[in-house]
Structure 1
């Protein structure tokens, strides 16, 4: 995949998002077929997912004595991502949290 095409389409995706238009309306306004839009969206998104496979995220575990001062309950997991936080206070929900984070990374 040529770098110029990737840059062009990433700019187009950003422009469409900033416009607030539906994909169909943005495509009509910019002379782009929906087929091409979604083709490049899948292609670029797929490349980003492949590059995320070997990505590591540092997880810090707070000292229990400091957790109460920070407002977190004992054993609670807090994930801050973009402009929101997710709180999980039961270890059995960690697989669900992992699945949610994978979907958010793919979709957002």
Structure 2
């Protein structure tokens, strides 16, 4: 039913192929509008971040672009190798966050 209602993975530009072959084996989907906005160009899927220099973000595929904001949407396995390890205090493998989970500790 999911394949009929949302289509194939290839219909969503930039979205990587899922590791799981069934919905039961895959990760939880938090927002059912994600696929809609990818198709309509409001959300652009990018590969992993290699480094950040000022406002310029360079991705692991070699492309780079300037951004004003970065939305951290890593899922349940947190890995931020492009940030200094002392920048965010971690607890149980995840950054400690405040303000409803949107800000790192000590941000004014």
Common fold, TM-score beyond 0.5?
no
Higher helix residue share: 1
Give TM-score scaled by structure 2 length: 0.19
Q: TM-score, normalised by structure 1?
A: 0.19
